[in-house]
Amino acid sequence: MKKFFKIVWKSLLAIAAMAVVFIGVVMVYAWHKHRNDYYNERWLSEDVVVRYYYNKQEHWVYNDKLDKVMLKDVDNVVYANEGDSITVFFKENLRGFLNVNTGQVVIPAQYKKAWVFSEGVAAVMNDSGKIGFINEGNEVVLPFVYDYRENMPIDYYFNNGFCVMTDECGACGMIDKEGNWAMEPRYDCIWKLYFGKYRIVKDGDKYGMIDENLQFVFPIEYDWIEFAEDEHDGVLLTKGYAKQHADYDGTIIDPFVIDDTENLYCMQRIEPVVITDSYGDEELKTEDCLLADYITYTVNGLCGVMHRETGDIILPPRFESIVMVSPTTFKAELDDIDGYVLYDIHGKLVDY
């Protein structure tokens, strides 16, 4: 009997040991699988997906329809421009191109920089740092004679037959499909296309806007221009601390636009009154924080003051912050200047 129990005990120990080993293998497999599973995916088209793998820190391109890996070990893949099927991938500090519908590489990684295809061509940078344009067959269609400008919101692709380009001095203009300057390079920056029609143009500290035919819709005379959320809602024009809502033909829709308002409060004297605090102690109260007759309003992040009921402008929106230090005095922090100034309720500078 003892021998029987000894055999049973040894069998149980063996089974337990095997169970521990099995659980360990399962846990290791699960951990390894978790480490190798992608945690992010982006679909380039209906059939092609880019998956990022955590442990490898690399992107793989899959053709889901074919259940096949098309490209491994790339640093990134960007979305194709609307209407084009060729996009850019990054590999070992070089750029190449692939077809978003198949995942197939069409141009191997060979360029220092590259931008997505648009209207059948793409801007690429050669080893000398110059920009040229190629077609889908990797043939040069515009020579490498254009200068690149870093840290600017320039897209370097064609829309409506024109592309933003910079000259050797860094000035922005527009070239046509033949590479000629359709808009001379004399501006600090030309923004990307909005709503397929409009671009903001910056010259010095002023802004204007052009249409798809490179004609100025608004001259370069505004302190800031921004688009409304919807194309049909027009634009917001800021000039001299005043913001207006306008249509694209210049018709003013709303002559006075602000971003937000905030109440102003100030300490004012009241008839003396005895109050009891939460501890039961009494004290004489001679002033109280009361809602003022004025509010602050903001335009493009800067503050001004208006009368709460009449809407009369007391101070234009050119201050970082404004508070009331008395019922008749505002303390305003100047924009880009370290210090404060005092104004009265008539908008007059308090001069001591």
Q: How many of the other CB atoms lie within 10 Å of CB of 253?
A: 14
pTM of the model: 0.71
* Domain layout of the chain by residue ranges: 40-117, 260-344
b/e burial code for range 270-287 (CB count within 10 A of at least 16 → b): eeeeeeeeeeeeeeeeee
> What CATH code would you report for 40-117?
2.40.10
Q: Do 75 and 57 meet the contact criterion of CB atoms below 8 Å apart? A: no
How far does CA 346 lie from the centroid of its chain?
A: 40
Dist CA 208 CA 164 (whole Å): 15
Element (H, E) at 11: helix 2-36
Tokens 């001379």 belong to 184
Q: Do 123 and 109 meet the contact criterion of CB atoms below 8 Å apart? A: no
Q: Do 262 and 245 meet the contact criterion of CB atoms below 8 Å apart? A: no
**What tokens appear for 22 in the block?**
């099995």
pLDDT truncated to tens, each residue of the chain (352 aa)? 555 555 555 565 556 566 656 565 555 554 455 445 666 788 999 999 999 887 778 889 999 999 999 998 899 999 998 878 999 999 988 999 999 999 999 999 999 999 999 999 999 999 999 999 999 999 999 999 998 887 777 788 899 999 999 888 889 999 999 999 999 999 999 998 888 899 999 999 999 999 999 999 999 999 999 998 888 899 999 998 899 999 998 899 999 999 999 999 987 776 676 667 777 776 766 667 789 999 999 999 899 999 999 999 999 999 999 999 988 999 999 877 778 999 999 999 997 6
Dist CA 85 CA 82 (whole Å): 8
